[in-house]
Structure 1
Amino acid sequence: MANVKKSYVVGDRYEAFIAEKVASGRFNNASEVVRAGLRMLEDYETRLVETRALVDIADAEIAAGEGIEYAGGQDITDEIVKRGMVRLSQKD
């Protein structure tokens, strides 16, 4: 796709942010800052869709009685530590 120049108004706050990032030397120009931001937004939205799908799966498992019931936070912590120790012992 050809580079088509477009113009967007982002407001004073974001103009200052973009200028700050360019001035820091991390980015060569405003377009690089905007592209980095768009990549981050795209990644965030992808992870959000994936997380929602995992929540849907978990909800279905719980509805099917496949969930694990814990009495409190310490029980969950103990289970996580126990599973972690098992995984670590399997790496040897």
Structure 2
Amino acid sequence: MTDDRETLLEFPCRFPVKAFGRQGEGFEAVVHDLLKPHVPELTHADLSRRESSGGRFVSVTAHITAQSQAQLDAIYAALTASDDIVMAL
């Protein structure tokens, strides 16, 4: 299956995937587990975490090497389907 949509990205490329959720233990692991099937080489070292100023929310950014637009679409579908993810960018 080919993807004929135009994109400004040239694959493969480094790409940050950011997921936001409510503060709590294990959010980083949730993001890792959701991304791992789509990015087999992902390690915990590829993730960075930042808490909101009010402390209610947390963001986790995964720095991945994206191989295709289809891969990115699958990643965002997995993230947005999860009840633990408030928003994904």
TM-score scaled by structure 1? 0.26
User: Highest Rg: 1 or 2?
Assistant: 1
The structure with the greater share of residues assigned to helix is 1
TM-score scaled by structure 2? 0.27
The structure with the greater share of residues assigned to strand is 2
Q: Which has the higher relative contact order, 1 or 2, with Cα contacts under 8 A spaced 6 or more apart? A: 2
